[in-house]
Amino acid sequence: MFRRIFDMENPLMRALGAICDLLVLNILAAVCCLPVVTMGAALTALSGQMLRYIRGEDSGVVRPYFRAFRSNLKQGTLLGLLFLAAAAVFFVDYQMAAAVMPPLRVAVVAAALIVGAIALYAFALSARYENTLWNTLKNAASLSVAFFPKTLGMLLFTVGLWVVCLNFFQYALPVLMMFGLSLPAYICALLLDGVFQKIEPENENKESDQ
């Protein structure tokens, strides 16, 4: 009986192992985000590593994550700075709209969600494929529209988790500290896996025709 309980193929042990992996990846991503300027590279590496994790393409999490972080340092950092600048603009616009014309806040929030959706795809695309910054953003925008139900699911979970946790910050702080980055990345990877499975055969066919 005890042998079955502690068997690594046991569903309970696999679930506990997945929780531990998410915790470790969350800590790694949070530490790599601390310099702020490397936030984009940290999130790009997290997105790419999470997709490889659910596909079983990598064994372990620490070394593959740092390997992904190094390989995505340049473009991931640029993406991060771009989206941080956009977030700052939306924050200022929201404050101004609240003071001058409150109904405009809806438009600001809507625009921020659109950019946020593009960011979710952009980090994953940058981690998965080699491309220019402009093409990565363009492809991210196209995919966010083409796979709108998945885009909506990613936004609802990611934004919803943070909104709930911030509104109940005192109680939700442990959740944010342990899974605030890795859990949304995991859910997004589950949804993005289907997207990439559809577009990757197209990319392979294009490469074979060249």
pLDDT digit string, tens, across residues 106-154: 999 999 999 999 999 999 999 999 999 999 999 999 999 999 999 999 9
Would residue 207 count as lying in a domain? no
Domain that includes residue 177, residue range: 2-198
Rounded to whole angstroms, how far apart are CA atoms 149 and 69? 29
Instruction: Look up tokens 């442990």; give the residue.
Output: 174
Asked if residue 203 belongs to a domain, the reply is no
- Does residue 208 belong to any structural domain of this protein? no
The answer as to whether 44 is a domain residue is yes
CA distance 121 to 114: 11
User: Phi, psi (5° rounding) for residue 8?
Assistant: -65, -20
Q: What is the pTM of this model?
A: 0.88
Domain count across the chain: 1
Give the rounded percent of residues in the chain with a pLDDT score beyond 70: 90
In angstroms, the CA 83 to CA 201 distance is 30
Q: Within 10 Å of residue 3's Cβ, how many Cβ atoms?
A: 7
Q: Are 136 and 125 in contact (CB under 8 A)?
A: yes
- pLDDT (tens digit per residue) in 151-204: 999 999 999 999 999 899 888 889 989 999 999 999 999 999 999 988 876 554
Residue 206 falls inside a structural domain = no
141 within a domain of the structure (yes/no): yes
| Lowest mean per-residue pLDDT among 5-14, 26-35, 120-129, 132-141 | 5-14
